[in-house]
Amino acid sequence: MHNGSPSVPGGSRYPGYDVLSKWHGPSWNEKTREVVARRIAIGPDPLFFSAHEFITVNEIAARIVPQPPTRPPIPVAMLVDHKLHWGMTDGYRLAGMPREGEAWRQGVRALDAEARAAYGASFAELSETKQNALLQRAGAGALKAMEWGSMRSKDFFKYRLLHDIVLAYYAHPTAWSEIGWGGPASPRGYVRMDFNERDPWEAAEAKSDQDASAVRINRSVR
């Protein structure tokens, strides 16, 4: 349980902002705190992926959403694992695409097969440059190994890999602090809805690296 003291540093665009400082303020209710608490306490052991699959997904996530070394990383692969373990679905899928969990397992197998065919090693064992090259080819639909089955590599890349990884990243409070978001709008909501208007409980964006006013404002946002 968070004690209300800042622990997630904001990005340079929102200096001094920590969305978790809203923990005991009027912006969040008990349900919001419950959801956020579960999210920041997730892990460390995968529940859906095998050990090898999880390592591969972690490597994929590192290529899609590289993270700065100046803060604790968002556990993107674990958030994807959590979603699949609990059967959270989109409610739809393309023709030829398996359900979410099987699409991920099949995609990981196929990427490993493509990596071994092209470079003689599993995807997770490749350099970042080679991993990027394979993912770019997947996104272009250029990967055709039999392990893909009826699923096209570009569909896996767009509708599972990008979709799930990016959503997982921006579902975490660390990312909220970086983009100046205050979390769920309930119960407080928003009042100033016109262009470039900011409610007092929203983060202020810095106009420059020397914008001390943004730091002062963001340290008092609740």
pLDDT at 80: 98
Task: Give the model's pLDDT for residue 138.
Answer: 98
Q: What is the mean pLDDT of the chain?
A: 91
Answer whether residue 1 shows pLDDT above 50.
no
Does 154 score more than 60 pLDDT?
Answer: yes
pLDDT of residue 150: 94
Domain boundaries, the chain: 19-42+176-218, 51-169
In this prediction the pTM is 0.89
pLDDT of 207 > 70? The answer is yes
The rounded percent of the chain whose pLDDT value lies above 90 is 74
Q: What pLDDT sits at residue 96? A: 86
SS3 of the chain: CCCCCCCCCCCCCCCCCCHHHHCCCCCCCHHHHHHHHHHHCCCCCCCCCCHHHHHHHHHHHHHHCCCCCCCCCCCHHHHHHHHHHCCCCCCCCCCCCCCHHHHHHHHHHHHHHHHHHHHCCCHHHCCHHHHHHHHHHHHCCCCCCHHHCCCCHHHHHHHHHHHHHHHHHCCCHHHHHHHCCCCCCCCCCCCCCCCCCCCCCCCCCCCCCCCHHHHHHHCCCC
For residue 9, pLDDT beyond 80: no
For the ranges 71-75, 91-95, 135-139, 149-153, the lowest mean pLDDT is seen at 91-95
10 band by pLDDT with thresholds 50, 70 and 90: very low
Lowest mean pLDDT of 3-7, 9-13, 113-117, name the range.
3-7
